[in-house]
Structures are given as C-alpha cells and as structure tokens.
Amino acid sequence: MKTNKLSYGALLLSMSAAALSAAPVQADERSGKEVVETICATCHATGKDGAPRIGDKEAWSQRAAKGLDKLTQNAVTGVRKMPAHGGQAALSDIEMSRAVGYMVSGGHSTDTNKAYSSPKTRTGAQVVEERCKECHAEGKSGAPKLGDMNDWKPRLKNGVAPLVKSAINGHNSMPARGGLANLSDAEMKSAVEFMVGKTGGGAGQAH
C-alpha cells in the first residue's frame, strides 16, 4: 500500500543522521529519557487525554510525518490538552526536543544540543509589552528597571546568555518564562535583548 507518510524506519534513519553531529548531553540539561520518564510519562505512558502512548510506533509515525519541528513546536507552545512545555515552564526547548526525539524514536534517538524548533511568533518588544514590563517597568520585587543601566550593568558582567537562562528557568521572585509557559527560548532571548538594548548599551555589546 502506498503512503506519503514517513515510515518508522526512515524516520529513525533521518533522526540518527541529524544527531550524528550533536555533542554529548550537556550536564545542566536533562536527557530526553529523563524528561520523558519524569514529566511526559504522566500522560504519554497511558495515553491520557488522547496523548500518543510511549512505544506506539504507528501513532508517533503519523505525527512525525509532519516533521519534528512541528511536533516540537506543539510541545513548546502547547496543543489541545497538552500544556506548553509539558506544564513545566523551566524545561528548555532543547530538553523538549530531546523528549520528542526520544518518544518518536522509541528511545533510540541521540540527544540533540540544538532545538528542533524554538518558535518565534512574538518580537522581544511584544513579549516585554505583554508580560515583562509588569515587573521591569517599575522594578517590582527587585527586577532591574527598563532603561536603568545601573540596574542592568552588574547583571551583564557575564553577558546576555546567563540572563536568558535565568529568565527561562526563573530566578528569585521571577517565575520561569515570566509566568508564560508558551514563550519559546527564542522569544525569551529576544525579550531580554530588547530590555538590555533599552539601557543604551545594546544587547550585541553585552555578549
């Protein structure tokens, strides 16, 4: 029977080829297996709310036929009854990609160090306007104020990357992703760079 869907075997081969250049799992990020066993299995082990079950090759093959980027985007932003980032906002988009790869491949994929997808539908300015300014406009709960270089300078001593990581994971009174779990890593980075740029120094100089 002819089909335009990617076969399970071909899917494994394509994932393996894509993962050959990936470096070993980073110590500060969880493997796909760890993410699946501690978080995703809550729904995917039993098929709760229609979630494709772990080990169901046909169900995963059908979904993966649209591409791992699309699957990961859904996992990051949420789809139907599945919450964004699996309900764990502190999970990075790379960790989400590893979890998707693990489940799609039946546990055979190599952990990637690059997100299959980190969707960016909102600009840094939009994210700041929608969420970040609630605290950063006035420095609520110790948040560095927008445009105040004195507030941002000590936080920039190691560059922008640590600030982005803190924004994703949460820090002190700031919740992970500012409380919006459907924000992608790319959107968080854009928001931080936008706020740093407001100091006058520019995000590019802070790297």
- Cα→Cα distances 205→93, 158, 160, 193, 194, Å: 25, 12, 9, 10, 13
Confidence of residue 12 (pLDDT cuts 50, 70, 90): very low
The three-state DSSP-derived secondary structure of the chain is CCCCCCCHHHHHHHHHHHHCCCCCCCCCCCCHHHHHHHHHHHHHCCCHHHCCCCCCHHHHHHHHCCCHHHHHHHHHHCECCECHHHHCCCCCHHHHHHHHHHHHCCCCCCCCCCCCCCCCCCCHHHHHHHHHHHHHCCCHHHCCCCCCHHHHHHHHCCCHHHHHHHHHHCECCECHHHHCCCCCHHHHHHHHHHHHHCCCCCHHHHC
Tens-digit pLDDT profile for residues 158-179: 999 999 999 999 988 899 999 9
Return the pLDDT at 22: 39
- Mean of the pLDDT values across residues 43-53? 91
- Summarised one tens digit per residue, pLDDT across range 68-106 is 999 999 999 998 889 999 999 999 999 999 999 999 999
| Selection from 106, 116, 118, 119 nearest residue 44 by Cα | 106
Mean pLDDT of the chain: 84
Query: Cα separation of 74 and 79, whole Å?
Result: 5
The whole-angstrom separation of Cα 130 and Cα 127 is 5
Statement: residue 187 has pLDDT above 80: yes
Q: Could you give all domains of the chain from N- to C-terminal order, each with its CATH number?
A: 8-104 (1.10.760.10), 124-202 (1.10.760.10)
Task: Count CB atoms within 10 A of the CB of residue 80.
Answer: 8
Residue 204 has what pLDDT? 42
Whole-number percent of the chain with pLDDT over 90? 67
Q: Is 60 exceeded by the pLDDT of residue 57? A: yes
Residue 21 reports pLDDT greater than 50: no
What pLDDT, on the 0 to 100 scale, is given for residue 201? 52
Pairwise pLDDT comparison (24 vs 128), residue with the higher score:
128
- Comparing 111-115, 158-162, 198-202, the range with the smallest average pLDDT is 198-202
Please say if the pLDDT value at position 64 is more than 50.
yes
Q: For residues 81 and 79, what is the distance between their CA atoms, to the nearest angstrom?
A: 6
Predicted TM-score (pTM) of the model is 0.79
Separation between Cα atoms, residue 183 and residue 102, nearest integer Å: 23
